[in-house]
Amino acid sequence: MCGWPCGWTASAQIKPIPFGDMEKWLVRRVDESGIIGGKTKYIYDLAEGDTLTGNTPFVPDLSVSPWGNSSVMAVVKGITKASTTVFPEYHGKGLAARMETRIERVKVMGIINISVLATGTMFLGQIVEPVRDTKDPMAKLLMGVEFTDRPKSLIYDYNFQQGQNGGQRIRVPGFGRTEEIEGINCGEVCLILQQRWEDAEGNVYAKRVATAWPRYSESTKGWINGNEIPIHYGDISGTDYYKPYMALQDGGKDGYYCRNSKGKVVPIREVGWASPDAVPTHIILRLSSGHGGAYVGCPGAMLHIDNIKLRY
C-alpha cells in the first residue's frame, strides 16, 4: 500500500490533494443503544461508497482516500454512541467540510456518566474505531500518510467562526469537572513533512522536514478563498515565522501517533530538524476547529474548509 493514492504525482504546478475538493462523502448510519434513547445518527467520511449500516467500524482504504476525521462510533461498557463533529455542507455550487466543536454526553444511572468536548478535526490518516474509552485520545488518531514530494505552499478556502463566550476555551475530559482554560480558541491548519524511521523494537522516530502551521483566533466575514500558506523547510526555530506551538512533537500525551510495522500504535517522536534539502517520507495535515490538545476547545467553534491544494 502506497499510503497516498497510488498513481498520484506532482507533475502540475498546483495539484489538489485527493478528495480535497470535499465533493465525495461516505455516510455511515449508527444506531445508538436503546438504553440511551436508541437514536439513529449519521457519520460522514471523505470517501466513496454506499451508506454503511449495522454499526460497522470504518477502516478507510488509504490507497483511495487518505482522510480520517474526529467523527467516531464509540462503544463504552457495551453502550454504542455516535459522535459527529465533521459535516458536509454547501459552498458555492459544490460541497465543503464543516468541523465543529461539540460536547457529547452519555449518562445512564449507575452505569456511566461521561461528558466529553470533541473538537472537529480532519487529518491525513485514520482513526482507531470503535473508541472504547477516553484514555490516550491522541493514540486513537493515526496521523500521516506516505509522501515524498517537496511542495512550496498549501492552498485552501476557509471560513472560521468563533464559538461561545467570545472563544473562551474549556476542558471537558469525560470524567471530572469542566474547567476554564486560559486563552482564546483558535482554528488550526497544521502541515508537517517528516522523515520517519523505525528501530528494531518498533519505536518510530522522525526528523521535521518542513512546517506550515497557521492559527485563526478571529471570526472571518464569510469565506476566504484561495488562501495560500508557505511551507518552510529545515529548522525554523530561529525564524520570525516560528511560534512555540510549532515545536518538535516528542510523542507526549498531545503528540502524534502511528501504527508501526508490527501493527502496534506508537508515538511518533520527532528528534530533530532535517536539512533544508531533505526529502520527506510522510505528510501530516490536520485541520481543526480548536487548539490546545484533547478535550480542550470552545463549544460552537466552526472551521469550514474546501479546495485543498499544494503548489510546487
pLDDT value for 110: 66
Q: What is the mean pLDDT of the chain?
A: 92
**What pLDDT sits at residue 1?**
35
The predicted-structure confidence for 104-154, as pLDDT tens digits, reads as follows 888 776 677 788 899 999 999 999 888 888 788 888 999 999 999 999 999
Residue type, 281: T
| Direct distance between the N- and C-terminal alpha carbons of the chain, in angstroms, rounded to an integer | 25
Question: What is d(CA 160, CA 168) in angstroms, rounded to the nearest whole number?
Answer: 15
Q: Summarize pLDDT for 51-75 with one digit per residue, the tens.
A: 999 898 877 788 789 999 999 998 9
- Section 256-279 average pLDDT: 96
Residue 222 has pLDDT above 90, yes or no: yes
pLDDT for res 171: 95
Q: Grid coordinates in use for 257?
A: 501517533
Give me the amino acid identity at 53.
T
Contact 267, 248 (CB under 8 A): no
Q: What is the pLDDT of residue 147?
A: 97
